[in-house]
Amino acid sequence: MNTIVVGLQWGDEGKGKIIDYLSRDADIIVRFQGGNNAGHTVVCGGKKYIFHVIPSGILHKNKICVIGNGVVLDPKVLLDEIEYLKKNGIDISPENLKISSLAHVIMPYHRSLDSFREAKREQKIGTTKRGIGPCYSDKIARCGVRVVDLLDCDTLAFKIKDNLNEKNPLYKNVYGAAPFSFNDVFSEYNDYAKKLAPYCCDTVEYLYDKRKKRFLFEGAQGTFLDVDFGTYPFVTSSSTIAPNAGVGSGAPFVKIDRVIGVTKAYTTRVGEGPFPTEFDEKMGEQIRKLGNEFGATTQRPRRCGWLDLPLLRRAAILNNITHIALTKLDVLDSLPQLKYAYAYEGKFKKFSAFPHDLSLARPVYKTIEGWHCDTTGVRGYKKLPRQVKNYIQLIEKFVGAKVQYASVGQNRDAIIKKPGV
Ligand code: IMP
């Protein structure tokens, strides 16, 4: 079985936990986009692990983790993550971690530009300031540094020179910042190259050789952060949706059997941008506390809101999902009633599609009975309260896909599989 896991909202849906759970039945786990703007938290054996670059499948023995060509890679962050995992007793080596030599490398001038731009913009995006946007911009502008370029001193040198020739005057004249020194950047990255070299490979050939194995593609961020279909410009700079798994991994030959869209039982968003079903301040604070809604990467408080069914339906279409994983149901345990958006209303009419121009439409809500009891100890679908099952049915009907997994807590065993799905 080959599976893609993607987020249906604005990221942080709990993909890391679902991927960790599904990794048991996969041989190869592949990341295909994004970079260390992502943050997956996985709790395993009472221990909490936070991942930014390496697929969370690395926690399992005998699995191969691949960082695909569609990822943008900050070498320092990756090397630190390798060290952190090694220190925590996780087996990690070039045998089980493969990095595409075509992945683009995040350079120090990308990180600076990300911060400078945010500081100058009137309309802030609220980026993670990890250099993601500028790195993808350079990739498209054809002046990026790929892993393969990093490994060759001469290429690395001329690429850094070309980039600094263009960027240093910009930094100085537009942002009033000190120029980058060629020697500093070159020697730092040359050093990373030596450490990363054993992990790098032609992942296209590698994955093609292994095409009969069981694949799990790990999406980062979420559908509404997608550069094409998200709430532009408040998006990330990559294609976050399932169809990009083939391009971002160089493994379009893997036949996909299942696309799991992960959604929380409510909605969250970090950073700026429209969020039609956002709670008022008091309710936002309550759910943020209950759900511990703070960014795994930037520790920023997440904005929280009601479930938005038109948004989920749009995400289901874009990702062509076959199944849903519904996470953090337990966070809503204390609520006697739940609201959800079932339509949007413009000036003249009501419609069920998620609108492109959110300034012209507002969500319309219905209310459903909450379960109002502790679900954190529930194990087994049958034991879920009737109201949880009603909520699940409502989502399934609107979105047009079955909930295969529902989760009621942080631990691996808090994931409940729906029988027969
Ligand atoms: P960037 O990806 O750092 O450029 O940030 C662009 C937008 O995407 C900002 O609103 C970030 O908060 C958001 N973002 C990026 N990565 C994640 C993620 O993994 N989870 C949630 N939001 C994210």
- Over residues 157-216, the pLDDT tens digits come to 999 999 999 999 999 999 999 999 999 999 999 999 999 999 999 999 999 999 999 999
Q: Is the pLDDT of residue 139 over 80?
A: yes
Give pLDDT, residue 325.
98
Q: Secondary structure of the chain: what % helix, strand, coil (to 5)?
A: 35, 20, 40
User: Which domains does the chain carry?
Assistant: 3-101+199-259 (3.40.440.10), 104-196 (1.10.300.10), 261-417 (3.90.170.10)
Within 24-152, residue ranges assigned H as helices are 75-87, 108-120, 132-140, 147-150
* CA angle (119, 139, 188) in 5-degree steps: 75
Question: Does the annotation count 104 as an active-site position?
Answer: no
Q: Is the pLDDT of residue 56 over 90?
A: no
| ω into 134 cis (within 30 of 0) | no
Q: Side chain identity at 148, as an amino acid letter? A: V
pLDDT (average), residues 42-46: 78
Mutate which of 17, 225, 234 for ligand 1? The one with the most ligand atoms within 8 Å of its CB, which is 225
pTM above 0.75, yes or no: yes
CB 389 within 8 Å of CB 403: no
Give pLDDT, residue 295.
86
Give pLDDT, residue 42.
81
Which helix (H) or strand (E) is 287 found in, with range? Answer: helix 281-290
Q: Is the pLDDT of residue 134 over 90?
A: yes
Residue that wins the pLDDT comparison between 364 and 44: 364
Give pLDDT, residue 177.
93
**Atom 16 of ligand 1, nearest CA residue:** 37
* CA angle (346, 349, 353) in 5-degree steps: 70
Query: pLDDT tens for residues 180-193?
Result: 999 999 999 999 99
Q: Residue 389 Cα, ligand 1 centroid: separation in angstroms?
A: 32
* CA dihedral over 332, 334, 338, 339, signed as positive or negative: negative
CA neighbours within 13 Å on the CB side: how many for 6?
Answer: 30
pLDDT (average), residues 259-270: 98
pLDDT (average), residues 378-403: 97
108-113: long-range pairs with CB below 8 Å, 24+: 108/180, 108/185, 108/188, 109/134, 109/163, 109/164, 109/167, 109/171, 109/180, 109/185, 110/134, 110/135, 110/138, 111/74, 112/171, 112/177, 112/180, 113/167, 113/171
Q: Residue 222 Cα, ligand 1 centroid: separation in angstroms?
A: 9
Q: Side chain identity at 375, as an amino acid letter? A: T
CB 268 within 8 Å of CB 39: no
Give pLDDT, residue 243.
98
Of residues 39, 36, 101, the one with CA closest to residue 66? 101
Ligand 1 site, CB within 6 A: 10-12, 37-39, 125-128, 130, 132-133, 220-221, 225, 234, 236-237, 270-271
Torsions phi, psi of 342, nearest 5? -115, -10
